[in-house]
């Protein structure tokens, strides 16, 4: 069985997220998705999520391509996750290109997939903020 893992915040879930998960699942038989916890997002990324970790977890668990959701609590956990979950392929969006190549030392394929260019959570948040400003 080929096991694949990917990481993300998955806030304001959109079709770009779904495409990423679909493509990641196509690379193996079992897809593990690590979702950044609220604490990790705030303390390390200075990012406030609209949905809580538990809400984001519930949403991602409901996607048919996903077999298991785990929490991402720190940057350093990736090497341990690869071993604990017996991962064969590590997948991230191509905006992270090169950042996780160290996992190749663990005999894991590291794949950077192109993002869906016309959609992002950041852009959705900016658009909603702009709409709110226009209404005010």
CB 102 within 8 A of CB 110: no
| Residue from 25, 47, 48, 125 carrying the catalytic annotation | 47
* b/e sequence 103-116, b meaning 16+ C-beta within 10 Å: beeeebebbbbeee
Using CA atoms, how far apart are residues 32 and 127, in angstroms rounded to an integer? 31
H-helix or E-strand containing 97? none
Please say if 47 is a catalytic residue: yes
Residue from 42, 5, 2 nearest 21 by CA = 5
45 has catalytic annotation: yes
From 45, 99, 104, 125, active-site residue? 45
Please give the positions annotated as active site.
45, 47
């Amino acid at each position: 069985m080929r096991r694949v893992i990917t990481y993300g915040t998955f806030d304001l879930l959109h079709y770009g997220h779904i495409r990423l998960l679909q493509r990641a699942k196509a690379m193996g038989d079992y897809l593990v998705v690590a979702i950044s916890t609220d604490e990790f997002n705030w303390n390390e990324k200075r990012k406030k999520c609209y949905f809580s970790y538990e809400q984001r977890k519930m949403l991602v668990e409901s996607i048919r391509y996903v077999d298991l959701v785990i929490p991402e609590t720190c940057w350093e956990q990736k090497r341990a996750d690869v071993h604990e979950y017996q991962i064969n392929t590590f997948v991230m969006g191509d905006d992270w290109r090169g950042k996780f190549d160290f996992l190749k030392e663990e005999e894991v394929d590291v794949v950077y997939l192109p993002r869906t260019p016309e959609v992002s959570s950041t852009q959705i948040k900016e658009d909603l903020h702009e709409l709110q400003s226009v209404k005010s």
